Chains A and B, each alone.
Chain A
C-alpha cells in the first residue's frame, strides 16, 4: 500500500491513471486502526487491479478537509481526479469495503 502525504497526494491520486483506493486514517483513531489489517488484506487480494493508498490525516489535515474528509475513517475511490464513491465511519464494514472495491475492478 502506498503511503500518501501532502506532497504526493496530487500526483498519486488526483493525477493517477485508473482507479485509486484511499484509506483515510489518523493517529488516535482506534476504529481506523482496527480496520487496517482488513484493508491490507484487500490490497493483497485486489492490488493488481486497483491502486491502494492510505493517508494519515493527522499529518495532512488541510488536505483531508479539502477532500471533504472531516470524520474518520473514510474509504474512498478516486477516478480521473474525482472522489467517485466513499464509505464514511460506521459504513466502513468489511462487507461494504469489499463490495465497493469489487465495483471498480
Chain B
C-alpha cells in the first residue's frame, strides 16, 4: 500500500460518501472510501425514512443505506474500515494517515458528516446509556411502559418522539420555545397522538441519578423557574432522548481547509479552498441537511474530482 496513489479517497461512508463512491467508480476512478465505524452515518439509527425521493414503503435508514453501499461497491469503489487521524493536504498528493495504515490520493472528498449535539448540562455525560440517549431505535425498548422525554423541537425530535410512543406510556417533548420548529405535517401528527405531551419554554438544566437516571431539573426559559421531575417510584427511571441538532465532524481539517463555525466552506461545485479537495454532506455549509442533499453533494464532488483529475 505504501507507494500506491488512489485517484480519489473519500472519507466517510454516509450517503454523501457512498453517492460519491458510486459516481467516481462509474467514472472509472480508482476510488477508496474510508469509514471509521459503520456505513450510513447518522441515518442508520432511523427506523423510518419517508422523504428521500423514491424511497420505498417502510424504508428505514439501514435499508436505504444497504442499497447505496451495494451500488457503490457494484461500481467498483473500494471500502475499508479505519479511523483517519491526520491529513496532509499541502501537496499534489494528499496523505491520509489512519490508525491502521497510510493512504495517498490525488483528489480527496471530505464526507465525514456530523454527530448529535448534546444538551451540555451537568450529569448528561455520566448518564448516557443510563437513561440518556441520542438513538431512539437503539434504546427506546428499554423504556417500555415508562415515561419518556424528548428534548428538541425540530423534525427529528418530533418524529423520534412519535416513534417512541410505541414504547413509552407517555412521550413528553421538552422544547425551549412555545412553538415547534418541525414542518407542519410532522407537527400535526404529533398533536394528533394522544401519547405525545408538551413542555413548552423549557430546557433541561441538570440530569441526576446514581448510575441510572433518577431525576432532572427543568428550567423555564421565560421565567427562569426551575422544577425537578422525579422518576415514577414504580419505574425507577425514565428515558431522555436528545435531538437538538448536530455538530460537524471537522476537527481533523481545522487549519487545513477554510471553515466557518466548524462547517467546511465550499462553492456550489463542492470545492474547498484547497485544489483537489472537496467536501460533501452535513460537514459543509449548506442550507439543508438531508440524505438527498448529501447524496447530491457527493455526486457533484465526485464529478468535479473526475474533471480535476482529467486535467492534471
Contacts and interface: CB of A to CB of B under 8 A. Distances in A.
Contacts of A72: 129, 135, 138-139
Contacts of A71: 128-133, 135, 138-139, 142
A65 to B, nearest CB: 6
Contacts of B237: 70
B169 interface: no
A99 to B, nearest CB: 13
Contacts, number: 76
Given A68-B130, A71-B132, A89-B128, A26 B141 contact: yes
Interface residues of B, number: 30
Contact of B129 (A26, A32, A58, A88): A88
B232 interface: no
Interface string B256-272: 00000000000000000
B37 interface: yes
Interface stretch (B39-47, B68-76, B291-299): B39-47
B58 to A, nearest CB: 13
Contact of A31 (B45, B143, B144): B45
B137 A29 contact: yes
A30 B128 contact: no
B38 A34 contact: yes
A57 B61 CA distance: 21
B211 interface: yes
B38 A61 contact: no
A48 interface: no
B246 to A, nearest CB: 14
Contact of A70 (B83, B99, B137, B212): B212
B123 interface: no
B154 interface: no
Contacts of B37: 31, 34
A11 to B, nearest CB: 24
Interface string A83-100: 000001110010100000
A58 B211 CA distance: 21
B245 interface: no
A65 B212 CA distance: 10
A30 B40 contact: yes
Given A30-B45, A30-B61, A61-B144, A69 B129 contact: yes
Nearest to B39: A34
Nearest to B135: A31
Interface of B: 37-40, 44-45, 47, 61-62, 83, 99, 128-133, 135, 137-139, 141-144, 211-213, 237, 239
Given A30-B40, A30-B44, 18 more contacts: A28-B138, A29-B135, A30-B38, A30-B137, A30-B138, A31-B37, A31-B38, A32-B138, A61-B144, A64-B142, A70-B143, A70-B212, A71-B129, A71-B131, A71-B139, A73-B138, A89-B129, A89-B133
Interface of A: 26, 28-34, 57-58, 61, 64-65, 68-74, 88-90, 93, 95
27 contacts: A26-B138, A26-B141, A30-B40, A30-B45, A30-B137, A31-B37, A33-B38, A34-B37, A34-B38, A61-B144, A68-B130, A68-B211, A69-B142, A70-B130, A70-B131, A70-B133, A70-B139, A70-B213, A70-B237, A71-B133, A71-B135, A71-B139, A71-B142, A72-B139, A89-B133, A89-B135, A95-B99
